[in-house]
Structure 1
């Protein structure tokens, strides 16, 4: 399960992007831009960093992942299916009547820790999970992915205070900093910069990285806590729609469903990117955590 080279992780992320585009196209609904922007974060976590077991989803010592920005669930469904948490064939039921694979994380599905949807809740629950793990003397870490638009929710900052107060260094918050939300630029809707200084003021150790660079992703996640006695906040600077040239940084792709021609064009681009890597155009090296 643990991929050991950057090339393996990049190729897997390209495959996941193709899967999630087909998922959204088939369902005729979904959140495309944010799922494409968070794919590399999730790929690094699930295929290299986190301790988890698809054959034993309730393993007590597992690491926990909470998708607080639950609307961008498509990448997560595709990764869980790829890992064997449920059959890949079930992906075709996404957002269909009676499915388990709804448009937000659903804890009836193995591998999902909590239902999320209303923004601002995930970090609060993650604080509780991290505190419970510490009280039970378990090695589990808790990773919580938030959106940057989500930072306008007051409950995020209440949880931030609690995480620092309890010195939860087994807690890693992640912000998918793609700078776009459904209404446009985050800074136009509700300015949140300087994010790093705000989180530092709340008592967190803050790391800002390229959210599409696997060396930076793995180092940031595996080295937490860099400062003992503090939770870590990783600001993953990403591109909304990443991997599909005509969707990147386009606000309308927040929940745009690709038509047949757009899907084929996107698949062609992603397939070409995989082919280029297989032919050695991208340097391959082992990941040094």
Structure 2
């Protein structure tokens, strides 16, 4: 997978393929949480198109080579969404897909959060919210020092915007003109304790990032064509002298109607009848 050069708008076949991979992420999330008996459905579902656009189109990767030095890096602040990332990494040949069948079981390298020491393809062990962007700065700085051209992508939850370390990192990245660093905010509106803006308001989010010296783009995080075009464009701009922030407006639980309207699904387990209904809704969505 690699950036699509100067033609940033994906064609119809690419859009259909990326939608299908987002569906794959949602269905595999349901399957794996069935093994674990508890998990973060809605946090994955809001980010499914982001995973798809990055790993199946935008990021420069080599199938089956998770340690390739010139690969693009991906860090995930919201590490609890790892259950949606693991199937993608296996699909790209970074580890044996059979390992998915033992997700969270004793001895499995695949836990509720990603561990870079155990899972090939994971660039950052996340879960303690607020640290991903700082580590992304380290990787982007390393790329500059080593004169490598890879891009570092960091996906952050919107509740994560309440962490002071995020904003310290934002200042640092802008000051040092890390143009190959891209933050993606999954703006789904909810965190564990409820609506993000009821816990601590974060708007106007775009203006805040701009004030901290970043180039900012706002996009519908479920519009695969618009999202991919935005990420392709950001990655392709090698002359940019400031980091970029993509605010992806998303819906927590996207694709399953009863999850979209119930914040309690941040962490849970599906009754078999609910799981069947969820799968039907996901499969029925037009591609």
TM-score, scaled relative to structure 1: 0.92
CA contact (8 A) 1:180 1:249 kept: no
1:23-62 to structure 2, matched below 5 A, reads: 23-62=32-71
Residue range with higher mean Cα deviation, 222-231 or 29-38:
222-231
Q: How many residues align?
A: 275
Moved over 6 A (4+): none
* Superposition pairs of residues 220-239 of structure 1, within 5 angstroms: 220-224=230-234, 228-239=240-251
* Partners of 1:66 and 1:220 in 2: CA distance: 19
Partner of 2:124: 114
Q: Gaps (5+ residues) in structure 2? A: 3-9
Q: How does 1:35-114 map to 2 (within 5 A)?
A: 35-107=44-116, 108-114=118-124
Asked whether the equivalents of residues 22 and 263 of structure 1 are also in contact (C-alpha less than 8 Å), the reply is: no
| CA distances 1:135-175 after superposition (whole Å, capped 9, x unpaired) | 21111000000000011111001110111011011000010
Tell me, what secondary structure is at the counterpart of 1:176? Answer: strand
The match for 1:283 is none
Shift of 1:54: 3.3
Q: Tell me the equivalent position of 2:7.
A: none
Which secondary structure state, in structure 2, belongs to the residue aligned with residue 45 of structure 1?
helix
Q: How does 1:172-251 map to 2 (within 5 A)?
A: 172-224=182-234, 228-251=240-263
> Cα distance, 1:238 vs. partner?
0.3
Aligned to 1:124: 134
Residue deviations 1:180-201 (CA, integer Å, cap 9, x gap): 1111100000110010111111
Aligned-CA RMSD value: 1.4
2:145 paired with 1:135: yes
CA contact (8 A) 1:169 1:224 kept: no
Query: Structure 1, residues 6-40: CA drift from partner, whole Å, max 9, x if none?
Result: 01110111122111111112211111110111111
User: d(CA) in 1 for partners of 2:241 and 2:279?
Assistant: 45
Three-state SS of the structure 1 residue aligned to 2:210 is helix
User: Mean Cα displacement is larger for which, 214-223 or 177-186?
Assistant: 214-223
User: Could you tell me how far 1:94 is from its partner in structure 2?
Assistant: 1.4
Q: TM-score, normalization: structure 2?
A: 0.92
- The question of whether the paired residues in 1 share the 8 Å contact of 2:25 and 2:85 is answered with no
Unaligned regions of 5+ residues in structure 1, if any? Answer: 278-289
Q: Look up the SS of the partner of 2:61 in the other structure.
A: coil
Whole-Å separation in 2 of the counterparts to 1:120 and 1:271: 34
Distance 1:220 1:168 in 2: 18
